[in-house]
Amino acid sequence: MKNKTLKVALLFMLSIFFLPLIAQTDGDKIIGKWFNEEKDGKVEIYKQGDKYFGKLVWIKTPNNEDGSPKLDVENPDDEMKKRELQGIVLLKDFSYDDEEWEDGEIYDPKSGKTYSCYMEFEDNGSLMIKGYIGVKWVGKTTYWTKAE
């Protein structure tokens, strides 16, 4: 009897230890490189601590006609207008919870606006990204595809 109780206690303790690791692995399936809907940009989604971020790592046309790098000219912050588009962090501070990455922000360099955002996978494997102001179910939705 004592041996069976010990086994049950050990299994319980192991499940408590490994359950967060399993949940962490599910959230990490978003990590990788993604094409935006227009296929003119590629974003690398990565994890830092327990949050997810996305950096613009490729632009179809990275330079202006004069050969200078494209800058973040639509940004409302004058200092940020001087930074190169390629390399900026577009997705910030997402938490993973129940098949959804939520409570993050997305920056749209085409408009210079930042929106609240959540992301989730579609059945076809694409990544649905919804940016919104205030109300989660009202906003703009875009679909990204895996680049690898």
Q: What topology does CATH give the domain 31-146? A: Lipocalin (2.40.128)
Residues 60, 94, 100, 13, Cα dihedral to 10°: 130
Distances in Å between the Cα of 15 and the Cα atoms of 7, 8, 25 are: 12, 11, 15
Pairing of strands 100-108, 89-97: antiparallel
- Print pLDDT tens along the chain (148 aa): 565 654 544 444 444 444 444 444 699 999 999 999 999 999 999 999 999 999 999 999 999 999 999 999 999 999 999 999 999 999 999 999 999 999 999 999 999 999 999 999 999 999 999 999 988 888 999 999 999 7
